[in-house]
Amino acid sequence: MKNRIFLVVFSLVLVCNLWSCHTDPLLQPVPKNTDISFVQPANWPTPNYNFQNNTLTSDGFALGRRLFYDTRLSIDNTISCASCHEQTTAFAQIDHPTSHGVRNQLGNRNSPALFNLAWHTSFFWDGGVNHIENQPIAPIMNPVEMDETLPNVIAKLNADPTYRQQFKNAFGTEEINTQRLQKAIVQFMGAIVSNQSKYDQVKNGKASFTADEQAGYVLFQQKCNTCHAEPLFTDFSFRNNGMLITLDSGRAHITGLASDRFKFKVPSLRNLNFTKPYMHNGSIASIGAVLDHYTSGIVQSPTLDPSLQNQITLSATDKSKLIAFLNTLNDYEFVKDVRFKQP
């Protein structure tokens, strides 16, 4: 009798174990790599998004991360958010002036790096999206990106019991809806903070600049800080920085104002080492070439930013010092942070 009970129990354990081989690894007890919190770094401004109506939890973060890396968000299950936003390149896409969407389509703009998004006041190069929670559904529905519909995405996620369980873990019930999808992805995206560069260590008194870096920092404060304001290295404004005029009207596409033509959101200068090529259309391949643009390549047009009317004056030595400083803005920790890796 005892043996029979043992056999039954043993078989049950065996079946459960076999079953667990097929369940999602994320359903295992929460591992260390989802220990997540959102802390405002010292001397940084108050974030624009503070998770007040979207409490950041390990379960919500893990769900958001899984969604971010899931190709099922695209119509033919080929493209995930991470396809164009890779962690190793600061969640930009290296060597792609513009990224590839479903059916081998090319996008119109350079996929931006994703970090410190909680401080952003708008999203996309033209700032068309006014709230971080409304960002994730835009690439999902964009015909040249993922080209999927919300009903399809929700049906695909609902068909996967491990997702239903994760939505329950994160939000209390198994219901999967647009709002929960948006909030979960933002728990991942919004929690990505890059503040461990050498610059940050210098500011926190834990390191010091070399002579060249320091000289570059002084040049930066004289020539670049107006738009690329510390400590986020962008003022989140829209400006025409003198690129060649193309069909893409930038901010004017959103506002309809002629005065906004060819203006794009000022990108952060953090993590430049990972995020080439540069500019909204990915048309400049190196940092040196970006500096050359500002000293000798500015294209005049009615909406050109006033600060660039006379270009920027930098000698060859200035440029190398400036580049030395810009290299202190690379955060080698967050690009390999296990919490942000594909699960």
> Which residue ranges make up the site for another protein (CB under 8 A)?
53-54, 124, 128-134, 137-138, 141-142, 150-151, 154, 177-179, 182-183, 186, 253-254, 256
Contact 71, 80 (CB under 8 A): yes
Contact 264, 300 (CB under 8 A): no
Q: Which is nearer to another protein, 127 or 277 (CB)?
A: 127
Q: How far is the CB of 90 from another protein (least distance, A)?
A: 24
Taking the C-alpha atoms of residue 152 and residue 341, their distance in angstroms, rounded to an integer, is 26
Q: Which is nearer to another protein, 151 or 302 (CB)?
A: 151
Task: Note the Cα 286 to chain centre separation in Å.
Answer: 20
Q: Which of 75, 78, 221 is nearest to 149 (CA)?
A: 75
Q: Give the burial class of 205: count Cβ atoms within 10 A of its Cβ; 0-12 exposed, 13-18 middle, 19 or more buried.
A: exposed
Residues 6 or more apart whose CB falls under 8 angstroms from that of 40 comprise 46, 47
Q: Is 238 helix (H, G, I), strand (E, B) or coil?
A: strand
Tokens describing residue 253: 């596409």
Q: Which is nearer to another protein, 23 or 130 (CB)?
A: 130
Q: Which is nearer to another protein, 56 or 229 (CB)?
A: 56
Amino acid at 343: P
Q: How far is the CB of 148 from another protein (least distance, A)?
A: 12
Q: How far is the CB of 280 from another protein (least distance, A)?
A: 15
Q: Which is nearer to another protein, 153 or 269 (CB)?
A: 153
Q: How far is the CB of 65 from another protein (least distance, A)?
A: 18
Q: Which of 237, 271, 292 is nearest to 116 (CA)?
A: 271
Tokens describing residue 79: 């493209």
Tokens describing residue 82: 């991470």
Q: Put residue 127 in one of left, alpha, beta given phi > 0 → left and psi -120 to 50 → alpha.
A: left
Q: How far is the CB of 9 from another protein (least distance, A)?
A: 20
Q: How far is the CB of 132 from another protein (least distance, A)?
A: 7
Q: Put residue 236 in one of left, alpha, beta given phi > 0 → left and psi -120 to 50 → alpha.
A: left
Q: How far is the CB of 99 from another protein (least distance, A)?
A: 16
Q: Which is nearer to another protein, 73 or 254 (CB)?
A: 254
Q: How far is the CB of 20 from another protein (least distance, A)?
A: 29
Q: Which is nearer to another protein, 3 or 53 (CB)?
A: 53
Q: Which is nearer to another protein, 37 or 179 (CB)?
A: 179
Distance (Å) of CA 223 to CA 188, 227, 229: 35, 9, 11
